[in-house]
Chains A and B, each alone.
Chain A
Amino acid sequence: MSSPDTALPPEAAPALDAPRAGLLSQESRDIILNGLWKQNPGIVQLLGLCPLLAISNNVVNALSLGLATTLVMALASGSVALVRNFIPHEIRIPAFVLIIAALVTIVEMAMHAWTPALYIVLGVFIPLITTNCIVLARVEAFASKRSTAHSVLDATMMGLGLTAVLVALGGMREVIGKGTLFSGIDLALGPIAKGWVIPLAHDYNGFLFAVLPPGAFIGLGLLIALRNRILMRDSGEQ
């Protein structure tokens, strides 16, 4: 699902000699809007679906993996943008992957050290951030051609866009599947957060289908349908 070869997003044709602009220029605003809504990796580009579908079974897992991915994306895009003029064009993909893998290893070790319980729950999906095509896609399509500041901004916004979709999907599946919100939050924040789980219904039997992979696919389909619905309504009004 996460093959990086096919991961080039359709909008990958930025102006090569874009003028350097300060934050919150028109360009920065475009980047923010693209990452969060117009080119949202989760529901528009449909990149990085493997972890999106596998980990979104509750809010805490979704948020944790989303933020970890965002961190890796920001660091990866920033580093690649810094060294982009030193990497020969022909071997850029292996070089990018090496940079990403090194950063993922750092994040993985940090999570192992500070949130060991969450590290075990997320399991193989933390090292798999390396192969998440949205990371490589932003590096290849954006960071290898643009300034460092814009690259970091773009990667952060794309990461946050993905995180938002993950959290929405995770919330949907957790509420329907288990009838709670924020279950397992103590894994991320320590035992102090044990009482923060919100049970929404008492003696709820659970709806296993929502927690299983088919629930993720149908949930993602509904989110995409919702976005299309909003776009249709907006274009209808104009």
Chain B
Amino acid sequence: MIGSPYTLGGNTTSAIMLKVMLALLPGIGAHAWLFGPGIWVSLLLCSFFAIGFEALLLMMRGLPMKPFLSDNSALLTAWLLALSLPTLAPWWLYAIGMLFAIVVAKQLYGGLGQNLFNPAMVGYAVLIISFPVYMTQWVAPLSLADHALTLADAFDVVFAGQGSISPDAYTSATVLDTWKTQTRLQTPVESILAQPVFASSGQAIVAAMYLLGGLFLLWSRLITWHIPLAFLAGVAVSAGLLHLLDPTQHASPLLHLFSGGVMLGAFFIATDPVTAASTPRGKLIYAGLAGILVAIIRAFGGYPDGVAFAVLLMNVCVPFIDSYTQPRVFGHKIKQGSDKP
């Protein structure tokens, strides 16, 4: 090898994962501030199960613990899943989610870097298919809840079941749930938008904080602009078209961008370097199509949000996209009728 002025040090896997988790903090903070302390319980539980399953599988595979556990990848998966799930769900829901995320989607495929599907989204998809009831009991914004839970209450609800406090006192439908059920009932748009869920901007503020964290990732060059921009544009353009065609059935693109998992998905989930496309053109195609799928699933699918399914479906296409979008190697000319470069 010929020596060059290589840069040394800098981004190890563990440092990258830590920075991404750092970028999630504004969103987590906003969530805790607006929706109560339940988020700490679910983050803690998911992290615990993630490390546990990761250690167990590393042991079964006969791999060394320390280098793999300290790469923080399991922890980041745990955080992403915890932020996608409703807080204050029963503890076993988080356990099953992490089981499928870490054991099935990651370690059975060969560990970090070998997984075909985004682990957090696999966990999410399994849970929403299997336990739709728990997966739609979202914690209400504090401003709307009849009963604000303390941290101790939150532990109680997660571990001991709902107990003395009725779930109706602290849960509510999300913006997307409400939109989906009400438009099916042919409720006029004005009266849907007048509902308290839409008045409280809790979800939108959390989404804006994820956007802020995402901009930090862009600034620190951990991700490129291609995936977030194409993802958001895909959602906005297709949701906008649907909105233009029939505003009584389809919400405005702005509501789509700042509700559900779109912001988290665009900057933190679709950008997963293992499961996303890796060429610049490929990233645009991959994320753009994922964004379009999100809008389509939200508009016509059975589930209120579609980020997980959209990302998983596009994960399947990544090898195909990558092989057709390889950039021209420097020094090679574009083919002009002949086979020889």
Contacts and interface: CB of A to CB of B under 8 A. Distances in A.
Contacts of B96: 207
B107 to A, nearest CB: 12
A214 B131 CA distance: 15
B129 A218 contact: no
Contacts of A205: 131
B126 interface: yes
A193 interface: no
Interface residues of B, number: 7
A196 interface: no
Contacts of B129: 208-209, 212, 214
B92 to A, nearest CB: 10
Contact of A207 (B104, B108, B130): B130
B267 to A, nearest CB: 28
A193 to B, nearest CB: 29
B91 to A, nearest CB: 14
A131 to B, nearest CB: 27
A221 B104 CA distance: 11
A212 B129 CA distance: 9
B130 A208 contact: yes
Question: What 5 pairs between A and B have smallest CB-CB spacing?
Answer: A209-B130, A208-B130, A209-B126, A207-B130, A209-B129
Interface of A: 205, 207-209, 212, 214, 218, 221
A212 B108 CA distance: 20
A39 B270 CA distance: 42
B310 to A, nearest CB: 17
Q: Which of B96, B126, B131 has the most CB of A within 10 A?
A: B126
B313 to A, nearest CB: 14
Contacts of A208: 129-131
A4 B261 CA distance: 45
A207 B104 CA distance: 16
Most buried by B among A205, A209, A218: A209
A233 to B, nearest CB: 13
A214 B130 CA distance: 11
Contacts of A218: 104
Nearest to A205: B131
Nearest to A222: B108
Interface in B79-137: 96, 104, 108, 126, 129-131
Nearest to B133: A205
13 contacts: A205-B131, A207-B96, A207-B130, A208-B129, A208-B130, A208-B131, A209-B126, A209-B129, A209-B130, A212-B129, A214-B129, A218-B104, A221-B108
A68 B322 CA distance: 46
A207 B126 CA distance: 10
A218 B126 CA distance: 12
Interface string B127-168: 001110000000000000000000000000000000000000
Contacts of B108: 221
A137 B12 CA distance: 53
Contacts of B126: 209
A227 B101 CA distance: 24
Nearest to A209: B130
Nearest to A210: B130
Interface string B261-293: 000000000000000000000000000000000
Nearest to A221: B108
A222 to B, nearest CB: 9
B295 to A, nearest CB: 25
A110 B104 CA distance: 42
A209 B129 CA distance: 6
Nearest to A218: B104
A221 B96 CA distance: 18
Contacts of B131: 205, 208
Among B96, B104, B108, B130: residue with most chain A CB under 10 A: B130
Contacts of B130: 207-209
Contacts of A212: 129
Given A209-B130, A221-B108, 11 more contacts: A205-B131, A207-B96, A207-B130, A208-B129, A208-B130, A208-B131, A209-B126, A209-B129, A212-B129, A214-B129, A218-B104
B111 to A, nearest CB: 16
Contacts of A221: 108
A221 B130 CA distance: 20
Interface string B52-81: 000000000000000000000000000000
A124 B307 CA distance: 35
Nearest to B126: A209
Nearest to A207: B130
A214 B96 CA distance: 15
A214 B126 CA distance: 9
B53 to A, nearest CB: 16
Nearest to B132: A208
Contacts of A207: 96, 130
